[in-house]
Amino acid sequence: MAYQWDWSALFDNLPTLLSAIGTTVLAAVFSMIGSLILGLPVALVRLSRPQVSWAAYLYIELFRNLPLLVLVFWVFTVLPLITGLALNPFTCGVLALTLNLAAFVAEIYRAGITSIGSGQTHAALALGMTRPQLYRRIILPQAIVRVVPALGNLWVGLFKDTSILSVIGVGELMYEGRMVATDTYRPLEVFTGVAVIYYILAYPQALGVNWMFERFRVRE
Q: Applying CB under 8 A, which residues contact another protein?
A: 3, 61-62, 64-71, 73-74, 77-78, 81-85, 160-164, 166-167, 174, 177-178, 181, 187-188, 191-192, 194-195, 198-199, 202-203, 206
Contact 156, 204 (CB under 8 A): no
Shortest spacing between CB 195 and another protein, in angstroms: 5
- Between 113 and 194, whose beta carbon lies closer to another protein? 194
Contacts for 141 with CB less than 8 Å, ≥ 6 apart: none
- Between 101 and 138, whose beta carbon lies closer to another protein? 101
Shortest spacing between CB 160 and another protein, in angstroms: 4
Shortest spacing between CB 110 and another protein, in angstroms: 14
Shortest spacing between CB 188 and another protein, in angstroms: 4
CA angle 109, 22, 104 (to 5 degrees): 15
Closest CA to 149 of 64, 220, 215: 215
- Between 69 and 127, whose beta carbon lies closer to another protein? 69
Q: What is d(CA 58, CA 73) in angstroms, rounded to the nearest whole number?
A: 21
Contact 168, 134 (CB under 8 A): no
- Between 140 and 178, whose beta carbon lies closer to another protein? 178
- Between 35 and 162, whose beta carbon lies closer to another protein? 162
Closest CA to 112 of 141, 136, 152: 141
Q: What is d(CA 208, CA 114) in angstroms, rounded to the nearest whole number?
A: 26
Shortest spacing between CB 206 and another protein, in angstroms: 7
H helix intervals, the chain: 8-12, 14-46, 50-65, 68-73, 79-83, 89-114, 118-126, 131-133, 140-161, 173-184, 187-215
How many C-beta atoms lie closer than 10 Å to residue 163's C-beta? 18
- Between 35 and 163, whose beta carbon lies closer to another protein? 163
Shortest spacing between CB 116 and another protein, in angstroms: 20
